[in-house]
Copies of this chain bind each other. A is one copy, B any other.
Amino acid sequence: MVTERKHDRAFVRTFFTTPTAVDEDDTAKMLRRAIDLRGMEAPDVWVPDNEDATAPSMRDEGVENIIEVVSKDGADFPSEIHPRVVWHRDSPSTRYQGFQQMLEIADPENGAVEYIDGFVIPEVGGIDDWKKADEFFTIVENEHGLEEGSLKMSVIVESGQAELAMGKLREEMGKPENNLERLFMLVDGEVDYTKDMRAITPTGKLPPWAELRHNTSRGASAAGLIAVDGPYDDIRDVEGYHERMTENQAKGMLGIWSLTPGQVVEANKAPLPPEEGSWLLEVGPKQVELDEEDGTYRYSGSRLSLEETDGGYILRVGGDEYELDEGELEEELLDRAEYVPSMNDIVDSMEEFEAAKEAGRGAIAMERAATLVIDGIEVDIQNDRMWDEATYQAAMTPITLFQDVYENRPDQHEDLAEMYSEDVVERAMEVGN
């Protein structure tokens, strides 16, 4: 059992920001376009951004635009709405502006608040700065007759102070003088964090900040919150965006900022298991995916080659050469091969383990076999993995995520059924219950 979550969504894949006022005839144009998004193009959390994405001089108009657009079309929008207001740990006037923005947006007379799930607070500092923001939420709720704690608070972690504060949430959240139980997402903001840490890279690229992402994910885990990574601003680079998401997922950070509907689509799909399984083969610094062909898996690159000799094989990989007998060849390829299971495979394994458990067995071997083809030579490999309760529980995460998406995002049902087939979707919704 994971620390109980306080809010509806247990997972957030996508955090999509939109300028609240732009320099065009209709300053609310971007907001109007965003609130019309549906299906895979619609994020799990939509963030009308009245901070960095909007020019300071336009932010009063931004507040009005949020109210106008959300009160008009919020009822039909499929996702949560969390406007970002201004805030800064070092500036009382900025904090007071943020308070006023929240007070206005949340005023029930303006008609938007019933579709607003919370607010995003940027540039927080130490834990006492988080409490200042929380106190303003409480006052806003009290002034407007909203239930105390009903507005969720999310923060952008973009300072060393805020990174340290994440280690204290668990012990601070229960205290009677605050309502920090309203916390929802911990979102990294690597550009400002880089400034705050005074880091320099030769090309100006952002440092990877692996420790920050770990600490954000850990803070979320310890306090029952949701970890979200910051923006990936090379929008052209879809492959790089996916690599970043794969890295994040291995840290338990399953959500990421999206800057365009195109990025939203990629990020909505990324943590979901693939439709088809695949075999990967390690051939140098990277893994390559093998081509499926009539049930066999063919390697067609040039880095690895295989040759049959009298009573054996010669395997060449990059500059290295190995003389192997049949058993050694199978072992070598097994070491280099990895299987990426499909949604269907995962559901199969879980059902198999559940049946075994019901029959009183605590651990079973899951078998995965394939025929690889390299330079025309077929090699059969087979891989066993022991599954016990802990393996089963850890493998459950992508399924739980899928179930959370399915329950909360009816607008994506069609896309999901198309990706996976109706049958797999149905079984995935059953497993683990």
Contacts and interface: CB of A to CB of B under 8 A. Distances in A.
Interface string A232-253: 0100010000000010011110
Interface stretch (A29-37, A71-79, A105-113, A387-395): A387-395
Contacts of A251: 197, 199, 207
A145 to B, nearest CB: 35
Contacts of A249: 199-201
Interface in A32-88: 52, 54-57, 88
Given A159-B222, A221-B160, A280 B126 contact: no
A136 to B, nearest CB: 20
Nearest to A55: B362
Contact of A252 (B54, B170, B199, B221): B199
A126 B222 contact: yes
Contact of A398 (B55, B200, B271): B200
Interface of A: 1-3, 23, 52, 54-57, 88, 90-91, 126, 159-161, 163-164, 167, 170-171, 191-192, 194-205, 207-208, 210-211, 214-215, 217-222, 233, 237, 246, 249-252, 254, 271, 274, 280, 284-285, 301-303, 318-321, 335, 338-341, 360-362, 385-386, 388-391, 393-398, 401
A251 to B, nearest CB: 6
Contact of A52 (B160, B208, B338, B388): B388
B90 A1 contact: yes
17 contacts: A3-B90, A3-B161, A52-B388, A52-B389, A52-B390, A160-B222, A194-B252, A197-B251, A197-B252, A199-B397, A202-B340, A203-B339, A205-B338, A211-B215, A211-B218, A302-B320, A303-B320
A392 to B, nearest CB: 9
A200 B271 contact: yes
A252 B198 contact: yes
A75 B233 CA distance: 50
B252 A222 contact: no
A170 B222 contact: no
Contacts of A215: 211
Contact of A196 (B52, B205, B221): B221
Indicate the member of A219, A338, A394 with the most B CB atoms within 10 Å.
Answer: A394
Contact of A218 (B197, B320, B396): B197
Nearest to A270: B200
A234 to B, nearest CB: 8
